Amino acid sequence: MSSPITILAVLVATVAVVVLPAEGARAFFVFGDSLVDNGNNNYLVTTARADSPPYGIDYPTRRPTGRFSNGYNIPDLISQALGAESTLAYLNPELRGEKLLVGANFASAGIGILNDTGIQFANIIRIYQQLGFFEQYQRRVSGLIGEDETIQLVNGALVLITLGGNDFVNNYFLTPITIRRLQFNLQDYSKYLISEYKKILMRLYDLGARRVLVTGTGPLGCVPAVLATRSRNGECAVEPQRAAAIFNPLLVQMIGALNQEIGSNVFVAVNAMEMQNDFITNPQAFGFITSKVACCGQGPYNGLGLCTVLSNLCPNRDVYAFWDPFHPTERANRFIVRTILTGSDKYMYPMNLSTIMALDSKT
Ligand SMILES: *[C@@H]1O[C@H](CO)[C@@H](O)[C@H](O)[C@H]1NC(C)=O
Ligand SMILES: *[C@@H]1O[C@H](CO)[C@@H](O)[C@H](O)[C@H]1NC(C)=O
């Protein structure tokens, strides 16, 4: 039997638990594609998924989670830097109550900036739907801690958005002839993507985001999948490399202009191409034996098809830059996040995450 006092004590304890995380680590929200999906696609009918072995082989549970990595992915490692637990996928039923205050991951493998990117994956959460879920999330949190507290939580949060790679790989370059290719040359297509990316970022701002890490594409021509199909002699494929070399500087420019319009450094460009180029041009300096061959896959460079239980699998994931034909290993993700934290403005423009954290802890 419980006395009224223990019931009261339990109530007080519950309220305290619900309020605490907001006062501890800041919340973290993630939007984008497979590089940052924490498992949303597990709940969808789509072929873009990472929920069977050997995905997750080096994750603490040694089991697949939906992350496109052998272990942790980039958002996990950023959460760790914030002193927070990993955000849950928004579609994960465990994301309720106080867990909501940690933040949420809305990302979905296969999506891009454009609504027609990744159509072959059918049922995935396109970026405007991810933003719609963010609104729904805020209504749910308002019911928990009130509207003002929710606005504070969102304004004080760190946001990561990762888009663009699929607009090339799973749209423009998907087949030798595509509608987008007939419509645009690479320069004009990149400009179009940037103008659409800008609308997405402005929508995020309208929804309350005030610190947003924005990543562009990696070195698209150098990933094992592209080496397997488009490379001569193992050299990075020229046209996808040119795409990344056009797109990324335009993104940095757009972000500079957008911050100026807003009058504050809300958006920070993460130059994933420069970060990955470092270990692609000199893998040995990072302790990798190769940056061309994926750990898990089949065919040339292990770059064909999907990573499945039937694929070749390397024994030591730490000496490979690429886990599967498209995605970095946990160890490569650690180098990327280290650069996000402490990189110079060649990598992080206008500032790195350490600087952001120092600035925001003063306000
Ligand atoms: C993409 O879809 C969203 C909503 O579904 C719509 O608001 C937006 O205008 C579309 N973008 C383009 C370029 O058609
Ligand atoms: C972060 O960026 C700042 C400003 O560009 C730079 O001075 C600093 O060395 C970088 N690294 C760290 C750890 O802050």
**pLDDT at position 208, please?**
98
Residue 224 in this model has a pLDDT that exceeds 90: yes
- Which residue CA neighbors atom 7 of ligand 1 most closely? 128
Residue 17 in this model has a pLDDT that exceeds 50: no
Domain 25-362, classified CATH 3.40.50.1110, yes or no: yes
Between 24 and 323, name the one with better pLDDT: 323
**pLDDT at position 48, please?**
87
Confidence band, pLDDT 50/70/90 cuts, at residue 245: very high
Distance, in Å, from the CA atom of 135 to the CA atom of 133, rounded to the nearest integer, reads 5
Question: Tell me: the pLDDT tens digits for 84-130?
Answer: 999 999 999 999 999 999 999 999 999 999 999 998 888 899 999 99
> Known catalytic residues?
34, 324, 327
- Which residue CA neighbors atom 10 of ligand 2 most closely? 342
**Which mutation among 111, 114, 115, 163 tests ligand 1's pocket best, with the greatest number of atoms within 8 A of CB?**
115
- Which residue CA neighbors atom 13 of ligand 2 most closely? 342
**pLDDT at position 314, please?**
98
**Which mutation among 128, 180, 193, 203 tests ligand 1's pocket best, with the greatest number of atoms within 8 A of CB?**
128
Tell me, using a 6 A CB cutoff, whether residue 342 lines ligand 1.
Answer: no
**pLDDT at position 363, please?**
65
Question: Tell me: the pLDDT tens digits for 31-58?
Answer: 999 999 999 999 988 888 899 999 999 9
Tell me, using a 6 A CB cutoff, whether residue 115 lines ligand 1.
Answer: yes
Question: Tell me: the pLDDT tens digits for 352-362?
Answer: 999 999 999 87
Average pLDDT for the chain: 92
| Mean pLDDT computed over 146-174 | 96
**pLDDT at position 19, please?**
42
Name the percent of the chain lying above pLDDT 90: 86
pTM score of the predicted model: 0.92
